[in-house]
Structure 1
């Protein structure tokens, strides 16, 4: 039965497991964790065809690269939105100050 917690995955640990380089005790612990989690079972089923070390490392590299690009793009959009909001706040503040000074001027010179 899969509990609802996140499954932190150490990429090197998974690569070592799939390549058969994980120490026996750690391998058993990982297999027990996999047996208790539907998410991890499905992940392992998806990784089984990729037994080659280079295939796994290339996929890891591609996924990391794609994730970094997405995060950078999201941060650029967020920064642009933030700058736009700041610009509008400054414009609104200047308009309010203009009305205050105009009101003061009209009040004192009438």
Structure 2
């Protein structure tokens, strides 16, 4: 069997040998190995799903092409999600930080100016003529 077919699971599951899986599907395993693999399938849903999915293929020769196509589609989806995530991030742009700091400073300055004017208006102002009369 070709090396491409052996990499169906990409060594993601250490419990099962890819060659053993392919031999099981082509019914080339011994009875003992078949029983052992079926026992593993009963215990692990992932292995069971993998065997069922691979058994659905009519032609084993088309399997590497399907795997390659699935990998390409997966890479496209991952790239799209990564691009979307990058677009949502705030880029490290110094003008954004400068603008934020400038707005904060302007807000604080406006607050201080308004506060001083309000305090100045609240203070009672004495007319100049009354002040002169009291001192005389």
TM-score by length of 1: 0.56
Whose radius of gyration is greater, 1 or 2? 2
Higher helix share: 1
Most deviating of 39-48 and 64-73: 39-48
1:45 matched to 2:52? The reply is yes
Using a 3 Å threshold, how does the CA distance of structure 1 residues 26 and 62 change in structure 2: closer, same or farther? farther
2:61 maps to which residue?
54
2:22 maps to which residue?
19
Correspondence for 1:95 among 91, 103, 109: 103
Gapped regions of structure 2 (runs ≥ 5): 1-7, 12-16, 118-136
Distance in 2 between residues matched to 1:53 and 1:46, nearest whole Å: 12
Distance in 1 between residues matched to 2:29 and 2:110, nearest whole Å: 78
1:78 maps to which residue?
85
**1:75 offset after TM fit, Å?**
0.9
Using CA pairs under 8 Å that are at least 6 residues apart, name the structure with larger relative contact order, 1 or 2.
1
Distance in 1 between residues matched to 2:83 and 2:69, nearest whole Å: 21
CA RMSD of aligned residues (A): 4.0
Most deviating of 54-63 and 66-75: 54-63
